[in-house]
Amino acid sequence: MRHRLATVLTAASLALGGVVASAAPATAAPADKPQVLSSWTQTSASSYNTWLSARNNQSAWAAYEFDWGTDYCSSSPDNPFGFPFELSCARHDFGYRNHKDLGIFDANKSRLDNAFYQDLLRVCDRYSGATATSCDGLAWTYYQAVVIFG
């Protein structure tokens, strides 16, 4: 009888533990995650600057569970001929990875690629003359690569 009672009590406590564990709320990213993500991946300089500020203070956005990982410009140079494209590539990776995580990538790919191109052109705006023309040409090449292969 003692053995049977112990078995019943053990089974009951395991079952109760399972109910309590499943009743605990799961941590989830805030409901406005898609809106925040969208605001950080627009074509404007202000969108880029807001994303960069958040990137530099990722801990403040931890609840959103964003994927901040990047391989920068993948197999292309991050700073071709000295043009600093690295952060533009990082924001592009951020957009791709997080839109894919939310299952909304296909509907946003074109905008993400356009934002990337605008970011690259803003880098090129720092230059003038033939240097600016060269930078613009590289920006166009990088943009076409993500449109076709991204």
* Catalytic center residues: 92
Structure tokens at 129: 């003359």
Residue 62 burial (C-beta neighbours within 10 Å; 0-12, 13-18, 19+): exposed
- Give 57's DSSP letter: T
- The DSSP secondary structure of 22-40, one letter per residue, reads HHSPPP---TTHHHHHHHT
Taking the C-alpha atoms of residue 4 and residue 97, their distance in angstroms, rounded to an integer, is 54
Cα 112 to Cα 10, 80, 83, 139: the distances in Å are: 55, 21, 21, 15
Task: Give the pair of three-digit tokens for residue 100.
Answer: 């894919």
